[in-house]
């Protein structure tokens, strides 16, 4: 039963990932990527990682992809199709990506020796266990992550601010 | 819920994650729209996340899932900054074609 679920979700996620790459319009790419993230959350549930599954849904499918969609709508790109690279470039890119896949597959041949999971591993992915790890072993990276977020927020505001002397009418001052 | 770990071998997750990563690499190299390139980078990050969660569950160790959490934090910050840079580029060049963005060469 779990195997059937795994294969269905794996096939669908590979298909939607391919559709991210080959979709004509960028909006379709965003929507396919959201489908991929939902299917990956399903995989996380199958792997007993409930916390990661929910955070993946909220952060990726909820926040980041809405940001992408928002910027896409904001830019309002033209309707004509995106110019394609030349056929030679496309062929060589496909071949090199396929060779990367072959290399990854070949390097994964030695991992059969993973020991069977210990009996307590059913609770590994729960919020309680992960919170204990996060706030004992990883407190300093957690706080640094908040600094990173503040820096990203301030940087985004500064970058996105309209250049006054260049392209806007003079501001009405009080 | 432990039986799903015993039924599905870990190699299946490794194969799925490498396939998704290669599709992300393909997208980064083959597309010219910079927003789609950013989305393919997110796809590669998610393939690595799947690998980390699979190993974390199969080894019974939660540290890998905390790493996934940090990868998500960094990816969110990266998407914010990258998209605002793209908006700035769009204001200057009226497009997000990465072939127009090679001005540093000239």
A122/B contact by beta carbon, under 8 A = yes
Which of B60, B61, B64, B74 would best serve as a mutation to test chain A binding (most A beta carbons within 10 A)?
B60
Model pLDDT for residues A135-153, shown as the tens digit of each residue? 998 999 999 999 999 999 9
Amino acid A17: pLDDT = 94
CB pair distance less than 8 Å for A125 and B4: no
* Angstrom distance (rounded) from CA B27 to CA A171: 43
Q: Residues of B with CB below 8 A from A80's CB?
A: none
Model pLDDT for residues A59-102, shown as the tens digit of each residue? 888 889 999 999 988 887 765 656 777 788 889 999 999 999 99
Return the SS3 of B67.
helix
Return the SS3 of B33.
strand
A131/B contact by beta carbon, under 8 A = no
Mean pLDDT computed over A39-55: 91
* Angstrom distance (rounded) from CA A60 to CA B87: 20
* Angstrom distance (rounded) from CA B19 to CA A13: 10
Q: Residues of A with CB below 8 A from B57's CB?
A: 47-49, 117, 121, 124-125
Model pLDDT for residues A98-139, shown as the tens digit of each residue? 999 999 888 887 776 666 666 556 677 788 888 888 899 899
A10 min Cα distance to partner chain B (Å): 7
Query: Binning pLDDT at 50, 70 and 90, where does residue A19 land?
Result: very high
Determine the residue of chain B that is closest to A7 in CA distance: B12
Return the SS3 of B61.
coil
DSSP string, chain A: -HHHHHHHHHHHHHHHHHHHHH-SSHHHHHHHHHHHHHHHHHHHHHTT-HHHHHHIIIIIIIIIHHHHHHHHHHHT--SSPPPPPPHHHHHHHHHHHHHHHHHHHHHGGGGGGPPPPPGGGGGTTSHHHHHHHHHHTSHHHHHHHHHHHHHHHHHHHHHHS--HHHHSPPPPP-
A19/B contact by beta carbon, under 8 A = no
CA-closest candidate to residue A40, choices A55, A56, A21: A56
Determine the residue of chain B that is closest to A150 in CA distance: B77
pTM of the model: 0.87
pLDDT reading at B29 higher than 60: yes
Amino acid A172: pLDDT = 46
Residue A133 has which token pair? Answer: 């790890």
B92/A contact by beta carbon, under 8 A = no
Q: Residues of A with CB below 8 A from B63's CB?
A: 133, 137
pLDDT reading at B48 higher than 70: yes
Mean pLDDT computed over B57-83: 90
Amino acid B5: pLDDT = 67
Question: ipTM score of the complex?
Answer: 0.90
pLDDT reading at A170 higher than 60: no
B5/A contact by beta carbon, under 8 A = yes
């Amino acid at each position: 039963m779990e195997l059937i679920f795994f294969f269905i979700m794996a096939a669908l996620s590979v298909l939607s990932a391919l559709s991210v790459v080959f979709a004509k319009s960028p909006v379709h790419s965003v929507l396919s990527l959201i489908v991929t993230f939902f299917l990956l959350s399903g995989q996380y549930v199958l792997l007993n990682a409930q916390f990661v599954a929910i955070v993946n849904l909220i952060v990726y499918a909820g926040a980041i992809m809405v940001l992408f969609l928002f910027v896409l709508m904001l830019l309002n790109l033209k309707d004509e199709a995106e110019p394609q690279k030349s056929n030679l470039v496309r062929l060589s890119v496909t071949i090199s990506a396929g060779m990367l896949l072959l290399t990854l597959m070949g390097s994964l041949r030695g991992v059969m020796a993973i020991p069977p999971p210990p009996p307590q591993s059913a609770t590994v992915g729960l919020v309680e266990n992960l919170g204990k790890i996060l706030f004992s072993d990883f407190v300093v990276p957690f706080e640094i992550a908040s600094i990173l977020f503040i820096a990203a927020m301030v940087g985004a505001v500064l970058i996105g601010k309209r250049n006054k002397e260049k392209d806007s009418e003079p501001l009405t001052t009080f | 819920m432990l039986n799903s770990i015993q039924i599905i071998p870990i190699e299946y997750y490794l194969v799925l994650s490498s396939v998704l990563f290669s599709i992300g690499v393909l997208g980064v190299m083959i597309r010219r729209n910079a927003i789609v390139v950013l989305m393919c980078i997110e796809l590669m990050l998610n393939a690595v996340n799947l690998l980390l969660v699979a190993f974390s569950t199969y080894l019974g160790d939660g540290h890998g899932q905390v790493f996934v959490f940090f990868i998500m934090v960094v990816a969110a910050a990266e998407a914010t900054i990258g998209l605002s840079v793209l908006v700035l580029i769009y204001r200057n060049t009226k497009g997000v074609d990465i072939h127009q963005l090679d001005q540093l060469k000239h």
